[in-house]
Every structure is written in C-alpha cells, then in structure tokens.
Amino acid sequence: CRNLSKEYGNKKVLDNINLIIECGEKIGIVGCNGAGKSTLAHILSGKIDCTEGKVITNGNIGYMEQEDYEKEQNNDNMDYDY
C-alpha cells in the first residue's frame, strides 16, 4: 500500500501507511487495541476502502478474522464419540 490513510468521521485511524508484502509472504499485524490492525487488514483484503492512498496488488490477499480462527480452533478440539 502507498500513503494509506483511513478516517472515521474526524478520527484518523491510519495515517500515511506504506507497506510492501512480497508474493508468498505471510505477515502478522501486532498492536494495541484500537491501533487500526483490523482496519488495515480489511483495507488490504478489499473489505473496506481507504480514505486516502492506494492498495496495489499483483494477486489476492487473504485475511482470517480472529472470530473465524477461534471457531476453527473450537471445531478442531471437539470430542467425537465413535
């Protein structure tokens, strides 16, 4: 992404983010609650639009929401009676 910013009303959540992710790379986004991690992931994956800047891709960007991950983990840990 290049010069990426996102605002909700008067609140700027992301400000001038520049990021290069090479094809095949896997990344993690770490930060405090409310820092804009989910917003950045949603913008990169095309779920929401940025206020300024642009996302440039040569393919698809996948993103697994925390809730999806937790559901998957709970399903994997279920006890089965056979």
User: Which pairing describes strands 52-54 and 11-17: parallel, antiparallel, or unpaired?
Assistant: unpaired
pLDDT, tens only, 8-24: 999 999 999 999 988 88
**Going edge to edge, which strands form the sheet with 2-8?**
11-17, 2-8, 52-54
As a residue count, the chain comes to 82
| 1 vs 25: CA distance, rounded Å | 15
pLDDT, tens only, 20-69: 988 888 888 999 998 999 999 999 989 999 999 999 988 788 887 777 66
